[in-house]
Chain A
Amino acid sequence: MMRLSAGLFTAFLLSGAAFASPPPPLGEHSWCDPLARSIAAAEVTSYKGVKIAQMVVNGKPTKVRARVYHCRPNRTRTEYIFPPSVTGTVVLRIGTNQWRFSPAQRRWIAESSDTAMESLSLVRRNYRAREKGESIVAGRPATIIALTPKTPGNPSKTLWLDKRYDLVLQSEWRNPAGQVTSWSKFVEIEYNPRNMPDELFEPPDSAAKRCEQRLNRPPFRVVIPGYVPEGYVLAGVSVLPLGHSRAVHVKYTNGLNTISLFERLDERASERRPANVPDFRAGVYSRAISWRHDGLSFTLIGDLDTDELRKIAQSTIAER
């Protein structure tokens, strides 16, 4: 009864949002919480559609078009159509497992099966969620939700949620400086389609699954940074096979944004060198710095101010 009363009260607050300025934050643990409903939406709704996205790759804005098939609760297949450099790539996700068909290599590659640390309370601790009105996306009415970081120096996010099915129809990332770094939106969507063959979601054979299985034991003493920005928590450490060697992936999250530190043994890293910025070209939409120190090679990737990345880097040198 108490929860229902709280929910009705929050609904009352939201209904009055149009008259207030600025609108109040969305309620936590509320039955009318659109974020919670959005997270659960894909588990109860199947769909197929066409999605377009734009992201900055190597400093250039790049547009992508893909066909997406989702079979509830957790099977998704994405077929990339455009640009030509990704045409033919297929990504299949079943739960936390992911396989990628590479047309260049003509084979399926199993990717990480780590379990992500998902926590809406962590998102709420670090971001303010506000309703910003309504619009139409792919012909469907959507509610706009803005997520702004409570700590400066972090990226922000805006979501367009289907008013009936709660699914994210459109999303937009802005970097800490407020510039849009990536967006995606459905241009066509059909809910609970009839003709979606089960074969679309069949994982590749067991040989492909085995080819990139993760190894669990770190091959050296892992360095944990002495400093991470406010709001970030250690989400886990995993071992990543890289050809004949292995790297350790140290992961942090604030609920929406992530920081990754990669460490590997490197015979060329015997000298002590300060953190620097080499010719790192994998700067997909985030910043990265790389350095060698005391027998190890480090690479730090995150959508953060470069000064913050440097502080994290310096703290690993101190720890070592």
Chain B
Amino acid sequence: MKCGNVRKLLSDHLDDELPANVKVQVDEHLAACPDCANEHARLAMLLEDLSRMGGAAAPWDFWPDVRKRVEVAALRQRLWPRFVLIVRRPLVAIPAIATAAAIAALVTWTILPPGTARVARTDRAYYADYARAYSHYRSQQLLADPDVMAAAVEIADSSMQEDVGE
């Protein structure tokens, strides 16, 4: 086993979560490789320090909150350089934005009948609520798996929002 592969498994090794055959391979590598053995010892000490610090239970919204923050940070990181490039070239950006806005307004005005977009969104919102209520009711039946129902509605909801552009 190579050093790179072993280092990826060190955390699981310390948590005793590796399958027995993989654990044997990691142990053999650690016995023969001083660098990886040092890394293993460093990680073990770090975990030891953390466990000594004790810990409070995470709040109920900790996990979703972390996920949201990571998503927002990643989005900012991706979009910011492009935004800067555009802003630095106003002679290119301003006419391009103005043209795109004019085309979008023209298409909307000529192709869609008045009120179409609003009506479609409202209907879909109703249907999403119905699907959720149906699903919840169905999940209350005997021998039902509510986890399947809830997941199906979440996925349907998110694809609906993508379609509508919300």
A135 interface residue (CB < 8 Å to B): no
Which chain B residues border A123 with CB–CB below 8 Å?
142-143
Interchain CB contact under 8 A, B143 and A284: no
Interchain CB contact under 8 A, B151 and A53: yes
Binary interface encoding of chain B residues 47-65 relative to chain A, with 1 for a CB under 8 A from any of its CBs, else 0: 0000000000111110111
Interchain CB contact under 8 A, B132 and A111: yes
Q: Which of A83, A103, A247, A262 contacts B155 (CB 8 A)?
A: A83
Binding site for B on A (CB under 8 A): 35, 38-39, 51, 53, 55, 57-58, 62, 64, 66, 68, 76, 78-80, 83, 85-91, 93, 96, 98, 100-101, 103-104, 106, 108, 111-112, 114, 116, 118-120, 123, 147, 157, 159, 168, 171, 182, 184, 197, 199-200, 202, 204, 240, 242-243, 247, 249, 251, 253, 255-258, 260, 262, 264, 278, 280-282, 284-286, 288, 290, 297, 299, 301
A86 to B157, CA, bound (A): 10
Interchain CB contact under 8 A, B59 and A58: no
Q: How many A-B residue pairs have CB under 8 A?
A: 176
Which chain A residues border B64 with CB–CB below 8 Å?
88-90, 101, 103, 106
A280 to B156, CA, bound (A): 11
CB distance from B166 to the nearest CB of A (A): 9
Given A90-B64, A91-B150, A100-B150, the answer on whether A199 and B59 have CB atoms closer than 8 Å is yes
A200 to B145, CA, bound (A): 20
A269 to B86, CA, bound (A): 49
Q: Which of A91, A168, A281 contacts B127 (CB 8 A)?
A: A281
Interchain CB contact under 8 A, A281 and B156: yes
A285 to B152, CA, bound (A): 8
A87 to B70, CA, bound (A): 12
CB distance from A257 to the nearest CB of B (A): 8
CB distance from B156 to the nearest CB of A (A): 5
Given A66-B147, A299-B127: 20 more A-B contacts, CB < 8 Å:
A39-B142, A51-B147, A55-B152, A79-B63, A86-B158, A103-B64, A106-B64, A111-B132, A116-B137, A147-B143, A171-B143, A182-B152, A240-B133, A255-B141, A256-B141, A260-B134, A260-B137, A281-B127, A282-B128, A284-B152
A204 to B61, CA, bound (A): 9
CB distance from A208 to the nearest CB of B (A): 11
23 cross-chain CB contacts under 8 A: A64-B155, A78-B147, A78-B150, A80-B151, A80-B154, A86-B158, A89-B150, A108-B61, A112-B137, A114-B140, A199-B58, A199-B60, A242-B125, A249-B137, A256-B141, A258-B134, A262-B130, A280-B127, A282-B160, A284-B152, A285-B152, A288-B127, A299-B127
A182 to B138, CA, bound (A): 14
Interchain CB contact under 8 A, B142 and A256: yes
Given A101-B61, A243-B125, A281-B163, the answer on whether A53 and B145 have CB atoms closer than 8 Å is yes
Chain A residue at smallest Cβ distance from B132: A111
Sort A-B residue pairs by CB-CB distance and give the 6 closest, nearest first. A116-B140, A282-B131, A85-B158, A64-B151, A88-B64, A88-B67
Interchain CB contact under 8 A, B67 and A38: no
CB distance from A52 to the nearest CB of B (A): 10
CB distance from B36 to the nearest CB of A (A): 29
Interchain CB contact under 8 A, A286 and B150: no
A104 to B72, CA, bound (A): 11
A312 to B89, CA, bound (A): 62
Pick from A35, A89, A100, A118 the residue with the most CB of B within 10 Å. A89
A197 to B56, CA, bound (A): 11
A98 to B147, CA, bound (A): 12
Which chain A residues border B144 with CB–CB below 8 Å?
256
A184 to B144, CA, bound (A): 11
CB distance from B163 to the nearest CB of A (A): 7
Binary interface encoding of chain B residues 15-49 relative to chain A, with 1 for a CB under 8 A from any of its CBs, else 0: 00000000000000000000000000000000000
Complex interface residues of chain B between 105 and 157 (CB less than 8 A to chain A):
123-138, 140-148, 150-156
